[in-house]
């Protein structure tokens, strides 16, 4: 017996037939994430939480490298943290809340290098993306939302500032 699943990509919400609709849901997801981010920044400011990486080296990657990183994060993180993990955990546990919560916690804690503020932001953003995935079962929409919410501050704003 093979240990390979042999399930189609549709089993994790990819390759849906309505790409335009997926992208519109992704745009809505990005708007919801922006609202969540604004709330997080208010809490971070109110609590005086530090935010950022371990070292402030002054190094700034070229925009093309940042674009690749943003695209990689949107695709890989959503495939594994939302699509695959939620679908498979839901089958194993029979519980959507458990299936969505476990990878969300791992996703948030994986942002520990950004401090408690980074963990909070990842928890809120990941929660919104997880809810969008659970509601729509459309991984392309979630990837689009993640890409947009990372693209604006990491690509668009630096281009406007230079």
Model-level pTM?
0.87
Mean pLDDT by 10 residues, the chain (162 residues): 64 76 95 97 94 63 90 94 93 96 96 93 97 94 96 89 67
Scored b (16 or more CB within 10 A) or e, 111-146 reads beebbebbbbbbbbbbbbbbebbbebbbbbbbbbbb
∠ Cα 21 24 30 (to 5°): 145
Between CA 5 and CA 9 the distance in angstroms is: 11
């Amino acid at each position: 017996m093979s240990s390979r699943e042999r399930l189609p990509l549709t089993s994790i919400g990819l390759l849906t037939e309505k790409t335009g609709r997926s992208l519109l849901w992704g745009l809505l997801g990005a708007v919801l994430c922006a609202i969540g981010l604004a709330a997080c920044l208010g809490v971070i400011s109110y609590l005086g939480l530090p935010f950022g990486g371990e070292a402030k080296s002054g190094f700034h990657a070229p925009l093309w490298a940042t674009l690749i990183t943003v695209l990689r994060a949107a695709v890989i993180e959503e495939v594994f943290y939302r699509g695959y993990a939620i679908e498979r955990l839901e089958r194993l546990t029979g519980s959507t809340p458990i299936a969505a919560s476990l990878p969300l916690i791992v996703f948030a804690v994986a942002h520990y290098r950004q401090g408690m503020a980074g963990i909070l932001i990842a928890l809120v953003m990941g929660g919104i993306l997880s809810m969008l995935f659970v509601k729509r079962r459309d991984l392309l929409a979630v990837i689009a939302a993640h890409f947009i919410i990372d693209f604006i501050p990491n690509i668009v704003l630096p281009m406007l500032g230079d």
